[in-house]
Amino acid sequence: MGVVNITPDSFSDGGRFFDAAAALAQARALAAAGADILDIGGESTRPFADSVPLEEELRRVIPVIETLAVEIGLPISIDTYKAPVARAALEAGASVINDISALRFDPDMAELAAAQQVPVILMHMQGTPRNMQVEPRYDDLLGEIKDFFQERLEYAASRGISRDLIVLDPGIGFGKTFKHNLEILNHLDAFSDLGCPLLVGPSRKAFIGHILGLPNGEVRDIGTLAALGMAVLKGAKIVRTHNAAYARQFFTVWEAIRMTT
């Protein structure tokens, strides 16, 4: 899954793709580099980020999705927790909802997902983007995330969303400390018995910078590959990354080695 942030304040790219033309160019580059899914977002969910007004989020993402849906034969995911944005994105050509709130922030999102019968990514987050990194605490990190997933799966089922359409994301960096992120990656298989594909998005995140002593941005792309590899080793079926070229090369070699008899 290749990431396109149409925001002026993304931690990962510093707003380089806020302009629609730049966002389209980045999406095309990700597709050419081997991305299988394009994830389009118009609101930064970095720690302490403020929310974006509905009309502004629509203005950022819908024209880009409309163009990509015609040009590029890849599934497009809309990264939003707002049902009106998700609805407009699906109408524009998106086919996946990526909801960081796991259907909690907008009561209309579950109804929309059920009616459209599209895949839905449900992410674990402690708190909200504005406060999630203010001393996140867990008594049982893996157990609490698993309990959250089970509750969300039951809720989704009660609203008519097929379990076959749900992807689970443990939310690396969303209400997690440095050690929490490492523990999740090392024990991702703790969630495998839930019966849903797992998505992991460690790309360019703070824990990588902490380990390597690197600032935000592209300089974390090599370190990201280690996190992507561990995620797949532990059961992830989808990895979310800003550098599809590196990830595609990495996993092409990985697969060639794995398949050798």
The CATH number that applies at residue 14 is 3.20.20.20
Can you give the pLDDT at residue 133?
84
- Which residues in 64-81 are b (16+ Cβ under 10 Å) and which e? bbbbbbeebebbbbbbbb
Active site residue: 152, 204, 220, 240, which one? Answer: 240
The pLDDT tens digits for 158-192 are 999 999 999 999 999 999 999 999 999 999 999 99
Active-site residue, 248 included? no
Question: At 14, is the pLDDT very low, low, confident or very high (cuts 50, 70, 90)?
Answer: low
Summary mean pLDDT of the chain: 94
**74 token code pair:** 């890849």
107 phi/psi in degrees, rounded to 5 = -65, -15
Distances (CA, A) of 151 to 158, 182, 199: 11, 24, 18
Nearest by Cα to 54 from 79, 76, 83, 23: 83
**183 token code pair:** 């523990």
**101 token code pair:** 């709130």
Question: At 42, is the pLDDT very low, low, confident or very high (cuts 50, 70, 90)?
Answer: very high
Question: At 131, is the pLDDT very low, low, confident or very high (cuts 50, 70, 90)?
Answer: confident
* Domain tally, the chain: 1
At residue 247, does pLDDT exceed 80? yes
Domain range spanning residue 186?
2-259
Can you give the pLDDT at residue 13?
59
Active site residue: 87, 205, 220, 234, which one? Answer: 205
Active-site residue, 237 included? no
The pLDDT tens digits for 78-94 are 999 999 999 999 999 99
At residue 102, does pLDDT exceed 90? yes
**2 token code pair:** 């290749």
The rounded distance, in Å, linking the Cα atoms of 46 and 48 is 6
Q: What is the mean pLDDT of residues 186-201?
A: 98
- For the whole prediction, is pTM greater than 0.85? yes
